[in-house]
């Protein structure tokens, strides 16, 4: 999905002992972490709001990166957001993020964009776990009921034009502490997505000690690809992505010949450098004769987990003239999600033809290609 990002990095950092956006973290300026994250997922615009006169510091911090632009911020956060929004394309969704939360990931961004399908605004949030006390100075006056209370984080995502319109209805003198507040005041539909403790905000000097620990253990994102092909033979159905699909023919293979799961297994194995499906399940071994391919995919997922890794998302393309995939696509997504322990929105199943060219076009067989992204410890 196309979107714009506004990264708010215009604060003075008075509570942290200086401008924290330019401070080093894991060998990089704090603000660069967020800029790199948004550029990596293909943001159409990455607008960084900075203090007046800090253009040279920004150019140094973002050296080697393309696709970002600068805006001079205002005296308060809300003013800085307004100035960043003025540069953003109003026809695109926009994500507003605090540079002081450096550990934003592609998964956070993807969850927020998906949430905009059913809401005008969304933000990650964590339930309040600690007991809350109201106090007058250091004297406790009462205990506050924490049920239904959440800690909102950033990025916060907004459907096209929603945040611009919300701020247009808020007086310039008002200074909301986050951008959801403006949409809430305008009566917009707001959703919360799962928060993440790693989205901690660097506020005080001691926060940087914890951030350095997180920066040192930041996972590496790796991508694997897979491809498989099987010829049609006798039968009345085929197995595709864990679902039996009625067809005039079957698929010939040592196992159940599930092209989709075979390609996806290879993609996961490739992402962690563990060879291919034939290394783990050789066709010469009779125990795999007619085996269900979900066993192969589960094995690959287990190897990812054994490395301390996590599967982010998978994408499978089935290449055939027939059978028709679309009527079964949702069942396939659900089955793959179940095998891998993922949410369904982290699984993509697509189909295409070769315009009647080649073996697939002649309906001699079908093929599948797959991509998987995983995170493993550095």
- Asked if 352 contacts 212 with a C-beta cutoff of 8 angstroms, the reply is no
CB contact set of 298 (below 8 Å; sequence gap of 6+): 339
Tokens (6 digits) for 218:
């930041």
10 Å Cβ neighbour count for 318? Answer: 25
Could you tell me if 166 and 186 are in contact, meaning their C-beta atoms sit under 8 angstroms apart? yes
Domains in the chain: ranges and CATH: 4-216 (3.90.550.10), 220-376 (3.30.1330.50)
Contact between residue 97 and residue 7 where contact means Cβ atoms under 8 Å apart: yes
pLDDT string in tens for the chain (378-residue length): 899 999 999 987 655 456 889 998 888 899 999 999 999 999 999 999 999 999 999 999 999 999 999 999 999 999 999 999 999 999 999 999 999 999 999 999 999 999 999 999 999 999 999 999 999 999 999 999 999 999 999 999 999 999 999 999 887 677 788 999 999 998 999 999 999 999 999 988 888 888 888 887 567 899 999 999 999 999 999 999 999 999 999 999 888 999 999 999 999 999 999 999 989 988 888 888 878 899 999 999 999 988 878 899 999 999 999 999 999 999 999 999 999 999 999 999 999 999 999 999 999 999 999 999 998 876
Q: State the pLDDT at residue 310.
A: 87
pTM of the model: 0.59
CA count, 13 A, side-chain hemisphere, 259: 25
CB 256 within 8 A of CB 206: no
What is the rounded CA–CA span in Å between residue 252 and residue 233?
6
C-alpha of 205 from chain center: 29
Helix axes of 294-306 and 329-340: crossing angle, nearest 10 degrees: 40
Q: Give the pLDDT of residue 174.
A: 76
**120 touches 164 (CB < 8 A):** no
DSSP at 205: T
> Token digits for 142?
């009462």
Pairing between β-strand 4-8 and β-strand 94-98 as defined by DSSP bridges: parallel
* Interatomic CA distance for residues 271 and 148, integer angstroms: 40
Secondary structure E strands in the chain: 4-8, 24-25, 28-29, 45-50, 68-72, 94-98, 121-127, 132-136, 139-144, 150-152, 156-158, 190-194, 220-233, 237-240, 243-246, 250-251, 310-319, 347-352, 365-376
What is the spatial distance between Cα 354 and Cα 360, in angstroms, rounded to a whole number? 7
Q: Are 353 and 326 in contact (CB under 8 A)?
A: no
On whether the CB atoms of residues 157 and 151 are closer than 8 A, the answer is no
For residues 187 and 298, give the distance between their C-alpha atoms in angstroms, rounded to a whole number.
Answer: 45
- Give the span between the Cα atoms of 351 and 238, in whole angstroms: 15
Beta strands in 199-309 (DSSP E): 220-233, 237-240, 243-246, 250-251
Closest among 301, 308, 297 to 375, alpha carbons compared: 308
Of 274, 293, 372, 366, nearest in space to 335 by CA: 293
Q: What is the pLDDT of residue 15?
A: 58
Residues 315, 348 contacting (CB under 8 angstroms): yes
Distance separating alpha carbons of residues 263 and 250, to the nearest angstrom? 18
- Spatial distance between the Cα atoms of 319 and 354, rounded to a whole number of angstroms: 7
* Distance in angstroms (rounded) separating the CA atoms of residues 30 and 357: 51
> What is the per-residue pLDDT for 16?
47
């Amino acid at each position: 999905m196309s979107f714009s990002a506004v990264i708010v990095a215009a604060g003075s950092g008075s509570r942290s002992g200086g401008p924290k956006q330019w401070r080093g973290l894991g060998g990089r300026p704090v603000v660069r972490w967020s800029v790199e994250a948004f550029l990596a997922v293909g943001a159409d615009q990455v607008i960084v709001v900075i203090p007046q006169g800090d253009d040279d510091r920004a150019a140094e911090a973002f050296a080697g990166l393309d696709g970002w632009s600068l805006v001079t911020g205002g005296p308060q956060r809300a003013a800085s957001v307004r100035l960043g929004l003025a540069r953003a394309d109003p026809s695109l969704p926009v994500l507003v993020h605090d540079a002081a939360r450096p550990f934003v990931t592609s998964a956070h961004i993807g969850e927020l964009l998906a949430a905009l399908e059913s809401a005008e605004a969304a933000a990650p949030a964590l339930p309040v776990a600690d007991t809350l006390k109201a106090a007058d100075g250091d004297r406790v006056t009462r205990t506050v009921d924490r049920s239904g209370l959440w800690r909102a984080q950033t990025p916060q995502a907004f459907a096209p034009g929603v945040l611009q319109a919300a701020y247009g209805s808020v007086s310039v003198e008002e200074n909301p502490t986050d951008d959801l507040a403006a949409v809430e005041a305008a009566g917009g539909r707001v959703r919360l997505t799962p928060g993440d403790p790693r989205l901690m905000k660097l506020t005080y000097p001691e926060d940087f000690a914890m951030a350095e620990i997180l920066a040192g253990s930041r996972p590496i994102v790796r991508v694997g690809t897979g491809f498989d092909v099987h010829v049609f033979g006798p039968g009345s159905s085929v197995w595709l992505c864990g679902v039996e699909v009625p067809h005039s023919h079957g698929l010939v293979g040592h196992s159940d010949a599930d092209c989709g799961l075979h390609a996806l297994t290879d993609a996961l194995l490739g992402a962690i450098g563990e060879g291919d499906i034939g290394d783990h399940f050789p066709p010469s071994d009779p125990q795999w004769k007619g085996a269900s391919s979900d066993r192969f995919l589960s094995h690959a997922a287990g190897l990812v987990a054994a490395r301390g890794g996590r599967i982010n998302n998978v994408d499978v393309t089935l290449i055939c003239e027939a059978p028709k995939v679309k009527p079964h696509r949702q069942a396939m997504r659900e089955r793959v999600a179940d095998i891998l322990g993922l949410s369904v929105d982290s699984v993509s199943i697509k189909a295409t033809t070769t315009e009647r060219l080649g073996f697939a076009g002649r309906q001699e067989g079908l093929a599948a290609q797959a991509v998987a992204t995983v995170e493993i410890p550095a």
